[in-house]
Amino acid sequence: MNTAPAELLKEYVQSQHFTSTSEIMAAMKEMFRDVIQTVMEVEMDEELGRQRCQRSEATEGEPRNYRNGYSKKTVKTQLGEVDIKVPRDRNGSYEPKIIAKYDRNADGMEEKILALYACGMSQRDIAEQIKELYDVEISPELVTKISEKIMPEVTAWQNRPLESVYPFVFMDAIHYKVKEDHRYITKAAYVVLGITMDGRKDILGVWIGEHESSKFWLNVLNDLKSRGVKDVYLFCTDGLCGMLQAIEAVFPQSRLQRCIVHQIRSSTKYVSYKDIKPVVADLKKIYTAVTLDEAEINLKSFAEKWRKQYPSCVKSWEENWNILSTFFEYPIEVRKIIYTTNIIEGLNRQFRQITKNKPSFTNDDSLRRMLYLASQRIVKHWHARCQNWDMVLNQLQLMFADRAVG
What pLDDT, on a 0 to 100 scale, did the predictor assign at position 351?
A: 86
State the pairing for strand pair 360-361/67-77: unpaired
Buried b (16+ CB within 10 A) or exposed e, 31-57: ebbeebbeebeebbeebbeeeeeeeee
What pLDDT, on a 0 to 100 scale, did the predictor assign at position 159?
A: 95
- Same domain, yes or no: 145 and 170: no
155 falls within a domain: no
Q: Which positions ≥6 away from 339 have C-beta within 8 Å?
A: 257, 259, 260, 287, 327
What pLDDT, on a 0 to 100 scale, did the predictor assign at position 102?
A: 36
Q: What is the pTM of this model?
A: 0.70
Residue 202 structural domain? 164-399
405 falls within a domain: no
Average pLDDT of the segment spanning 259-264: 91
Average pLDDT of the segment spanning 214-221: 86
381 falls within a domain: yes
406 falls within a domain: no
Average pLDDT of the segment spanning 207-234: 88
* pLDDT grade for 104, boundaries at 50, 70 and 90: very low
The residues that bridge with 206 in the sheet, in sequence order, are 191
385: DSSP letter = P
Mean pLDDT is lowest, of 61-70, 160-169, 264-273, 391-400, for 61-70
- Same domain, yes or no: 57 and 185: no
- At residue 170, φ and ψ (nearest 5 deg) are -105, 140
CA atoms within 13 A on the CB side of 349: 6
* pLDDT grade for 72, boundaries at 50, 70 and 90: confident
* pLDDT grade for 149, boundaries at 50, 70 and 90: confident
What pLDDT, on a 0 to 100 scale, did the predictor assign at position 101?
A: 43
Give the number of domains in the chain: 3
| pLDDT of 87 above 50 | yes
- Same domain, yes or no: 250 and 216: yes
- At residue 178, φ and ψ (nearest 5 deg) are -130, 135
Whole-angstrom CA distances from 274 to 280, 302, 326, 363, 388 are 12, 17, 31, 45, 40
Best-predicted range by mean pLDDT (2-6, 31-35, 249-253): 249-253
Residues 158-200 have pLDDT tens digits of 999 999 999 999 998 888 999 888 899 988 888 999 999 999 9
270 falls within a domain: yes
Q: Which positions ≥6 away from 267 have C-beta within 8 Å?
A: 283, 312, 313, 316, 317
- Same domain, yes or no: 64 and 32: yes
* pLDDT grade for 226, boundaries at 50, 70 and 90: very high
Closest by Cα among 320, 309, 356, 315 to 120: 356
- Same domain, yes or no: 113 and 101: no
**DSSP three-state, residue 66:** coil
- Same domain, yes or no: 324 and 219: yes
158 falls within a domain: no
What is the C-alpha to C-alpha distance for residues 81 and 197, in angstroms, rounded to an integer?
50
- Same domain, yes or no: 122 and 236: no
| pLDDT of 347 above 80 | yes
- Same domain, yes or no: 263 and 326: yes
- Same domain, yes or no: 84 and 173: no
